[in-house]
């Protein structure tokens, strides 16, 4: 199973609405089950450097089927996955990337959000995920 463009666009719109509600400017990326980019939106004035980060967060979340922040807990100095970020052409392991599941619980893609604090990034990403209710 793979996320459709219609589903991805719904997730992007939900994330944008949440970003606006929080007064933030976000970059929002959706990848499919194969970690390939499916949809992307850069809100006007959002950080340019977050264009790449949002995509890397989405891919990282699908690469390991967990929220990016969970990986970051293990990739710290002394942690079991220290410097895992050097793999796969660059990972981002702080919060803002979350896998997307279908109603059967199968992972069909992931969302990555970047543009504010990592707390806000995660909240906006979750809003995108919740659009699959």
Binding site for a second copy (CB under 8 A): 2, 4-5, 9, 32-44, 47-53, 56, 59-60, 62-65, 72, 75-78, 80-95, 117-118
Contact assessment for residue 39 and residue 10, using Cβ atoms and an 8 Å cutoff: no
97 with 109: CB under 8 angstroms? no
Q: In the complex, what is the shortest distance from the CB of residue 4 to a second copy, in angstroms, rounded to a whole number?
A: 5
* Beta carbon of residue 127, minimum distance to a second copy (angstroms, whole number): 17
The torsion region of residue 123 among left (phi > 0), alpha (psi -120 to 50) and beta comes to alpha
Maximum CA extent, the chain: 42
Output 71 or 129, the one with its CB closest to a second copy. Answer: 71
Smallest distance, a second copy to C-beta of residue 25, A: 10
Between 74 and 130, CB nearer to a second copy: 74
């Amino acid at each position: 199973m793979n996320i459709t463009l219609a589903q991805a666009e719904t997730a992007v719109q939900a994330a944008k609405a949440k970003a606006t509600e929080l007064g933030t400017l976000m970059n929002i990326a959706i990848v499919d089950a194969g970690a390939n980019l499916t949809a992307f939106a850069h809100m006007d004035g959002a950080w340019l450097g977050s264009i790449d980060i949002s995509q890397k967060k989405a891919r990282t979340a699908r690469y390991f089927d967990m929220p990016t922040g969970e990986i970051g807990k293990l990739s710290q100095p002394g942690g079991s996955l220290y410097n895992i970020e050097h793999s796969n052409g660059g990972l981002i392991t702080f919060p803002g990337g979350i896998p997307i599941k279908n109603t059967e619980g199968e992972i069909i893609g992931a969302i990555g959000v970047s543009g504010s604090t990592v707390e806000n990034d995660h909240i906006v990403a979750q809003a995108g995920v919740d659009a699959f209710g």
